[in-house]
Chain A
Amino acid sequence: MRALVSAVYLFLYAPIALVVLFSFNAGRNASEFTGFSAAWYAKAFSNTFLIQALQNSLIIAFTSATLAAVFGTMAALAIERMGPRMRVVFDGLFAAAIVVPGVVIGIATLVALAAVFSVLNPAVASLWPGDSPPQFGLGYASIIAAHGLFSMAVVTMIVRARIASLGRDIVEASGDLYATPWGTFRQVVLPQIMPSILAGFLLAFTFSFDDFIVAFFVAGSKSTLPIYVFASIRRGVTPEVNAVATTVLVASLFLIFAARLLMREKSRTGQGDT
């Protein structure tokens, strides 16, 4: 049994290790390691397209995760206060946002936005006083919107689970001690649900940073890091791709470990507050 489990761990990590190893290969040959070199990193990072893609990915991930964390938490609080009928509607929509495949979300968003733009752009152009009316198109906003949809659903789910485990008695106790509803929220509820909000944010950030398929449809002419990596892979497997892939890997590993550390810290202070 031990041997089997060890084999599974090897299976999980060996491929990743191989990519990292060959990103430092001095030679071009993908099947033999001819010496240690960081030349492929230098080559990859002198590429302005890569830098631009990385920058786009960070902006999109940060914005969509922030919006998702705020709006998702608000929705989670609202759902707790709703009547059963409205609650069913929200539950259904959030479940759909999680369950519907990314490829379908991408397509549906693309189709809808294309239809909206085909009406909006001529209308704006005809009303615009100047010579160069603004053209609305796919880009940052459409990727953020499509990523935010899934992310918001995830944040809502996590925060609601936390609220459900809170128990009403501390909220009632706070009310009995003459706290205002806002005071109760800020001093009792928020500290308790903060770790879940943070976990939701990091989950959302990682999802957006790693997502390929949704962005592939709604990115327009913008490129994100996964889109750049995908295009590089299509051009052929080179050590340069390995260097970029390793960078993506290290970035997400950094995020996870930061998340885990932060979560541990937050849950400790959270407990200290109560």
Chain B
Amino acid sequence: MAAAGNRRRSLVTAALAAPAALWLGVFLVLPFIAMLVFAFGRRAPEGGYTPAFTFEQFLNLPARSAAFLNTLMLAPAGALLCLLVAYPVAYYLAVRASPRHRLVLVSLIVVPFWTSLLVRTYAWMYILGSRGLPNLLEMIGISDVRILNTPAAVLIGIVYGYLPLMIMPIYVSLEKLDRRLLDASADLGARPMSTFFGVTLPLSMPGVMTGTALVTILLLGEYLIPQLLGGGKVFFIGNALVDLFLQSRNWPFGSAIAVTLVLVVVVVLTVAMRIAWRFAGTRRVDLV
């Protein structure tokens, strides 16, 4: 009786999991295997794929080192810049803003994130283009300023695009913060600055870590922002991939780069989680 019940139960579980398992198998696992096979293969003369087992695609990676270098410099730099802008906003929303307005103010941060990144990045093409900001600067006497197609333009686009994603986790961790701790710190004679650095900042560290890791990881695979605001001069790994797959049709080399990008993401994620755990660990100890 019990055995029959158990079998029925596990049958139901299997039936519930089946569609998702099939989907993950066919559209995640299988494509990854295919990509790995391509990465160790050779390019056919007309641009296809020839079966082989060779490391030459991976040995050829330095040919695209500029894309890797740009990505590995600008992604963390962009994330840090985001953090610098995001923290004061998150702090204001969680600690200073009146509860009456808080919900509206938070929604106003979230809403742009839900709208097309393509359109939002395009807006900056418009602003930074020669008829936008440089045109205005010329009117006040500063001429020959070129922003579009420079790393600065890409960084502006990154901060603009990913700011909401950085603000939200920090806001959440600051909102959970027990106000009595701040009062206690003040009552014990701490100045506002030392309360901030001694209490608020350490306690918001999980949010800071989550936001920074999230933004960095998403930026590692970014394509649109460098494409539209870097104009082919500032390009990321994503741009190299589009070029290799859709223009020069070198699929094996492109697959090798994609596999490497996944490895980079895994490494960044592992390091971020290690650091996050350490912060979470000390936080628990401090509170107890």
Chain A residues with a Cβ under 8 A of chain B:
1-2, 4-5, 8-9, 11-13, 15-16, 18-19, 22, 29-31, 70-72, 74-75, 77-79, 81-82, 86, 90, 93-94, 96-97, 99-105, 107-113, 115, 145-146, 148-149, 152, 156, 206, 210, 212-213, 216-217, 226, 229-230, 233, 237, 241, 245, 248-249, 252-253, 255-256, 260
Contact = CB atoms under 8 A, between A and B. Distances in A.
16 contacts: A5-B89, A5-B92, A12-B164, A16-B115, A72-B20, A74-B17, A94-B24, A100-B262, A101-B262, A103-B223, A108-B35, A111-B35, A152-B20, A212-B117, A237-B129, A253-B114
A29 B221 CA distance: 35
A252 B114 contact: yes
Given A1-B96, A5-B92, A112-B30, A213 B35 contact: no
Given A30-B131, A31-B132, A233-B228, A107 B254 contact: yes
A19 B38 contact: no
Given A156-B20, A245-B122, A206 B114 contact: yes
B258 A107 contact: yes
Contacts of B118: 210, 212, 226, 229-230, 248
A226 B115 CA distance: 12
Contacts, number: 216
Given A96-B28, A112-B30, A237-B125, A255 B160 contact: no
A8 B254 contact: no
Contacts of A71: 19-20, 23
Given A210-B117, A229-B122, A237-B125, A152 B23 contact: yes
B16 A74 contact: yes
Contact of A101 (B12, B108, B125, B238): B238
B27 interface: yes
B126 interface: yes
A15 B265 contact: no
Given A74-B20, A75-B16, A103-B238, A81 B9 contact: yes
A103 B265 CA distance: 13
A22 to B, nearest CB: 7
A222 to B, nearest CB: 15
A31 B33 CA distance: 50
B245 A249 contact: no
A248 B116 contact: yes
Closest 5 CB pairs of A and B: A101-B221, A108-B31, A15-B123, A75-B20, A78-B16
A129 B51 CA distance: 32
Interface string B238-258: 100110011000010011001
A78 B17 contact: yes
A103 B221 contact: yes
Contacts of A9: 108
Nearest to B119: A245
Contacts of A152: 20, 23
B153 interface: no
B119 A19 contact: yes
B218 A101 contact: yes
Given A71-B23, A103-B223, A82 B13 contact: yes
Interface string B115-153: 111111011111101011001000000000000000000
B221 A108 contact: no
A238 to B, nearest CB: 11
A169 B80 CA distance: 44
Contacts of B163: 8, 12
Contact of A256 (B16, B85, B88, B114): B114
A248 B119 contact: yes
Nearest to A110: B245
Contacts of A210: 114-118
Given A13-B112, A99-B265, 14 more contacts: A5-B89, A9-B108, A11-B160, A12-B112, A78-B17, A97-B24, A100-B262, A102-B221, A107-B245, A109-B31, A210-B116, A248-B119, A249-B116, A256-B115
